Chain A
Amino acid sequence: MSDQANIILSVNNIEVIYDHVILVLKGVSLEVPEGEIVALLGANGAGKSTTLKAISNLLKAERGDTTKGSIEFQGTRVEKLNPAELVKMGVVQVMEGRHCFEHLTIEENLLTGAYTRKGGRKVINESLEMVYEYFPRLKQRRGTMAGFTSGGEQQMAAIGRALMANPTMILLDEPSMGLAPMLVEEIFEIVKKLNEQEGVSVLLAEQNTNIALAYSNYGYIMENGRVVMDGSAKELGENEDVKEFYLGMSSEGRKSFRDAKHYKRRKRWL
C-alpha cells in the first residue's frame, strides 16, 4: 500500500507468545487503509486469528501476549488497551466460529452488542433497524433463541451484533467457516455493502482465498506466523504461486511456499 491515504490500522512487526513460551507470530506487519476491505489469508494455523486477537486484545483471555511491536488504530497505540476500550474506540472483532449467545434470542444477541453505546434507547433502536435492514433474515428470526438458528443466521447475528457497537472497523474472522457456498456469498455481499454504505473498514481473515480476494481490495498471505506475501487483490489473484497454492489451480494439490524454489520470499519484515 504505497499511497499514504489514511491508514486506519497499522500493525508493526508484532510478536505474539502464548502461555509465555509458544511463539506464534514472528513479526507480523500489515496496514488497513480507511474504508477498505483487507484480507488476511493463509492455511489453518498460519496465525490469522492470533493476529486479529492481538489487535482486538482478546489475546489476554487466552493467555497470549503481544511481546514486541506496536499496533496503531487511528494513530493511537492500542496494544495495552482492554477489549472494551477498543470497542469504544470503534474496533470490534467477530470471532471465528460465530460465538453467538445461544440462550439469548437473536434480538437479545444484537442488543448486547450495544453494551458500550451511549445515547439511550433511541440510538440503539436506530442501529437495530439498520442491522435488520442489512440482514432481513435476522428480523424474521428475532425472537428465536440463537442456539436454534442455522449456522448462516448465527454468522449474520454475530456480524449484526458487532455492528450494534457502531464500529469504524470490524475484524472479521472466517465468516465462511462451515457454511454453504451460497450463504457465504450472501454474507460477503452484505459485508461489501456495509463497507460501501456505512464506510466500515474490514480486516478479514479467511482460508477461503477465492471468495476473500473477490471481495477485498488488498491481501496479505500468512504462513507460520509470518506474512509471506502481500499485494492488491487483483495482483494476488493473478499470481502463479497464489493460484497454485491457495486457489487450488494446480494438479499437485496444496503445497507450502517453502517448497517453491523459484519463489523469492519477501524480506521486508525481517
Chain B
Amino acid sequence: MSFFMEVLIAGLLAGVMYSLVALGFVLIFKASGVLNYAQGTMALFAALSFVSFVEMGINFWVALLLTAIIMVILAFVVERVVLRPLVNQPLITLFMATIGLSFFLEGFAQALWGSQVHRLELGISDDPIFIGDIMVSQFDIFAGVTAAAMVAGLAFFFSKTKMGRALRAVADDHQAALSIGIPLRHIWVLVWVVAGFVAIVAGLLWGSRLGVQFALSLIILKAFPVLILGGFESIPGAIVGGLIIGSSEKLAEVYLGPYVGGGIENFFPYMLALAFLLIRPYGLFGEVHIERV
C-alpha cells in the first residue's frame, strides 16, 4: 500500500509540473481564444535566459528579475507584432502565428544564448525524504508548493483586482468589454505578461529537472492531454487535469507497464485524453455555456 502511495504522490507532484505549462496556456486561451503553441517555448526561453544570467555571475534574484523583464518585453512585442495585425482574423490564423512565434523564439534563444545544455541549480536537493513510511522527493514537494502558491496568487489576482476582473470580463464577452472602455490591447499585453511569468516558473522547475535544453519546449505536448482533461478555459481544470495525468501515467507505468513491456508513461496521457474526449468534450471543468431562456 505504501508503495502505491509513493507512486501516486510522485505522480501527483509530477502532474503539478504539467499543470504549470497548461496554466499559462489556459490564461491566454481564456482571454483571447488563442491557442498559444509557443507556451512551452516561452518556458524554455525564460529558463535559458535565467540560466545564462546566473552563469554570467549575476545574483539569483537579479537574474529572476531580469528574466521577468524580458518576458514583459516579449508580451509587448507579441501584442504589437503578432496579435494586433491579426485582429479579426480567424483563430486558426492566430494559432499558426503562435507556431511561428514558437520557432522564432527557439531560434532567437539559440542565437542569443547558444545551444548547449545548461545545468540549472535551484538549490533544492532531489533527495527523497520520508513522511511516515512514504518516500517523497523534496524537489517534487517544492514544485508542488510553488505551483500552489502561484495558483493562489492568480486566484487573488483574478477575483480581487481591477485588472484581473477586466481580464475575466474580456474572456466572457469582449464586445461588452470594449463597450465599457476596456481596451483589448492592454488586456492582451497583460495576459501575455502573466503567462510569461507562469512560463518562468514552469521553465525553472522543468529546467532544473531535465536540464535547460531545447527539448524543454516540447513539454507543451504534455500540456495538451491536461487541457483536454481539464478544459481549455479552466484554471482549476489545468491543475486537476495535471494531477490526474501525472498520477495516472505513473500508476499505469508501474502497474500496467510490465504487461506491455514498459514505456506506457509516454503515451498513456494521450490515450486517456482521447477516451475523455468521447465522454466530456469540454473537459472536466470546461465552461458549459450558461444558457437561460
Q: Chain A: interface secondary structure?
A: mixed
Q: With A and B bound together, what is the CA distance between A219 and B177 in angstroms?
A: 29
Question: Could you tell me how many residues of chain B have their Cβ less than 8 Å away from some Cβ of chain A?
Answer: 23
Bound-state Cα–Cα, A87 to B165, Å = 18
Contact B180 A104 (CB under 8 A): no
A135-161: contact bitstring with B at CB < 8 Å (1 yes, 0 no)? 000000000010110110000001001
In the bound complex, residues from chain A placing their C-beta under 8 Å from that of B2 are none
Specify which chain A residues have a CB less than 8 angstroms from the CB of B88 in the assembled complex: 61, 63
> Which among B162, B165, B176, B287 is the interface contact of A99 at CB below 8 angstroms?
B176
Q: How many residues of A contact B (CB 8 A)?
A: 37
B178 within 8 A of A: yes
Asked whether B181 lies within 8 Å of A111 as measured between CB atoms, the reply is no
In the bound assembly, the distance between CA atoms of A93 and B177 in angstroms comes to: 11
* A-B contacts besides A101-B177, A158-B176, A165-B181, 19 pairs, CB < 8 Å: A58-B175, A61-B88, A84-B178, A84-B181, A87-B181, A95-B175, A99-B175, A101-B168, A102-B289, A102-B290, A103-B172, A104-B165, A112-B169, A112-B177, A115-B180, A115-B181, A145-B290, A148-B292, A162-B179
Is A256's CB within 8 Å of the partner chain B? no
Shortest distance from the beta carbon of B79 to any chain A beta carbon, whole Å: 15
Given A63-B88, A103-B168, A104-B165, A147 and B292 contact (CB-CB distance below 8 Å): yes
Closest CB-CB distance, B44 to chain A, in whole Å?
Answer: 32
B182 at interface by CB-CB < 8 Å:
yes
Whether the pair B287, A84 counts as a contact (CB closer than 8 A) is no
Instruction: Scan B150-182; emit 1 where CB is below 8 A from any A CB, else 0.
Output: 000000000000100110110111111111111
B153 CB to closest chain A CB (Å) equals: 19
Residue contact A82 to B169, C-beta cutoff 8 Å: no
Query: Which residues of A from 91 to 118 have beta carbons under 8 Å from B?
Result: 92-95, 99-104, 108-109, 111-113, 115-116
B residues within 8 Å of A by Cβ?
88, 162, 165-166, 168-169, 171-183, 287, 289-290, 292
Instruction: Find out whether the CB atom of B168 lies under 8 angstroms from the CB atom of A115.
Output: no
Confirm or deny: A50 has a beta carbon within 8 angstroms of a beta carbon on chain B: no
Contact between A61 and B180, CB atoms less than 8 A apart? no
Please tell me if the beta carbons of B182 and A84 are within 8 angstroms of each other in the complex.
yes
**A56 contacts chain B at the CB level, 8 A cutoff:** yes
Q: How far is the CB of B160 from chain A (nearest CB, A)?
A: 10
Task: Kindly identify which residue among A61, A88, A101, A108 contacts B178, using a CB–CB cutoff of 8 Å.
Answer: A61
Task: Enumerate chain A residues within 8 angstroms of B287, measured Cβ to Cβ.
Answer: 103
- Is B176 a contact of A88 with CB atoms below 8 Å? no
> CB < 8 Å: which of B162, B172, B183, B292 contacts A101?
B172
Separation of A146 and B180 alpha carbons in the complex (Å): 16
* In the assembled complex, A175 has its CB within 8 A of some CB on chain B: no
Known: A63-B88, A112-B165. A101 touches B173 (CB 8 A): yes
Q: Which residue of A is nearest B174, CB measured?
A: A61
Which of A58, A84, A161 touches B183 (beta carbons < 8 Å)?
A84
Which of B162, B173, B178, B179: most chain A CB closer than 10 A? B179
